[in-house]
Amino acid sequence: MGYFPFFVELEGKEGLIVGGGRIAAHKIEKIKPFGAKLTVVAPYLAEDIKTDPILDCKERPFLDADVDGKCFVIAATDDEKLNAHISALCQGKNILVNVVDDQEKCGFIFPSLVKEGKFCAGISTEGASPMTAAYFRSRLAAALPEKTEEILDGLLAFREPVKREIPDGRVRAAVLKEAALFCLDKGRPLTKEEMQERLRAAAGKQEKKKTGSVALVGAGCGAYDAITVKGLNTLRRAEVLIYDDLIDERLLSHVSESCEQIYVGKRSGRHSFRQEEINDLLVQKAREGKRVVRLKGGDPFVFGRGSEEMTALREAKIPVTEISGTTSAIVAPAGAGIPVTHRGLARSFHVITGHTAGTEDGLPEDIENLAALHGTLVFLMGIGNLAAIADKLIAAGKSGGTPAAVVRQNTDGSTQAVRGNLHNIAQKVKEAGIETPAVIVIGETAGLQLFDEQKEKIERNKQKIKTGHYSKK
């Protein structure tokens, strides 16, 4: 099915409901607030339908000619053959038709509606689970402020003076957005005094162009919902979004339609932007007066070069903040049941880059010292150097039998893990086909598997259900 959620103007449009019982009455009540001219046809009409003054009621059997000139038709009878006939008739005349409880014969379907004044939201599962749609409808309805209708009426009244008095489109959009967020946060409409105050403030902004700001936001590791609440709220307010490769693209749906989105992803051997270019871009967009969000996978300050970007921004006197995200150094191993510390096994853990540009062989410096550490060694961005890292640690005195694991945390929340020891982990990873990005864990805790098989299966199924990829396999 390919149902697109159009919002269609129904004011004055002619519609036909075939059926006069409870289900027909339910559909009528859904449509009435939108101003359509409704004709109802059925051999028997319920009293509340028959006595409704805005309906054109015809208490008789359906005639094919009844559909002529109609914008839409709803078949709500208990006669399957008649419903099928109406569906075929309408489709042959290119008239939108809905057959209650028979999706295959529908040209349009009814969403689960939330309507409060000018606020209207439609939720649909394309017939897969009406109860799921109803669940989210109730959640959304409960989240609306009590004065939603008043808030929207007030914001509508505010739009005209804003459009008239603020010619700068960027400033105008910012004023309207901030006003909406204020009203939703306070749960009330703007007062006249607050409207005037905001107009005066906006006029001042036009005269004095301000410098924008940059927020370095960590999207977290793996799953779409790993981002913090603070990070998500900041993302929603972005006027420019500059984002990396290692994020779940579903996060992009949270930015406004007017937000400028710029992809600057970097992977081994494939860089769309050099780091210096990214730094310059952040400065440039902030100097345009924009609210910029730099969205990075994991945590910006854990091998994310966030500190370099912050330094460049501070040197340019750009206001900058950092919003941490969950780092793969901890989250990825935990997803495989591997703690980075454990009483009696590891009292510390060490996060190390798996490749270093400043060394001759590209391996971490002082690897001999790393081999002598008793804590857990966590290498990031090191899959390409895994065999060399293992060999050097063994040569430096680390036992070849030391437990080792490689873990990949996918954006759908699933985890791939390969376990072994320093002697064989590189070969096992090659055979398993695990690709970057993945985390290397070396030490006694890498031998732990705190999740049992049943729990892992349950967690995998939960993720599949959340992402719509569930199967019985």
Q: Which residues are catalytic?
A: 244, 266
403 cis-preceded (ω within 30 degrees of 0): no
- The amino acid sitting at 91 is Q
CB contact set of 365 (below 8 Å; sequence gap of 6+): 356, 358, 359
Contact 207, 255 (CB under 8 A): no
Going by C-alpha positions, the residue among 69, 101, 65 that lies closest to residue 84 is 101
**Rounded-to-integer distance, Cα 151 and Cα 458, Å:** 44
Contact 23, 46 (CB under 8 A): no
Tokens 């290498």 identify what position?
379
**Rounded-to-integer distance, Cα 197 and Cα 443, Å:** 61
Tokens 């004095």 identify what position?
208
DSSP-assigned letters across all residues of 213-277: EEEEEE-BSSSGGGS-HHHHHHHHT-SEEEE-SSS-GGGGGGS-TT-EEEE--EETTEESS-HHH
CB contact set of 241 (below 8 Å; sequence gap of 6+): 235, 252, 255, 259, 260, 261, 262, 292, 293, 295
User: How many residues belong to the chain?
Assistant: 473
Going by C-alpha positions, the residue among 120, 133, 181 that lies closest to residue 155 is 181
Contact 241, 264 (CB under 8 A): no
For 14, phi and psi rounded to 5 degrees?
-90, 130
* Rg, the chain, Cα only: 30
Cβ burial 135-149 (10 Å sphere, 16+ → b, else e):
eebeeeeeebbebbb
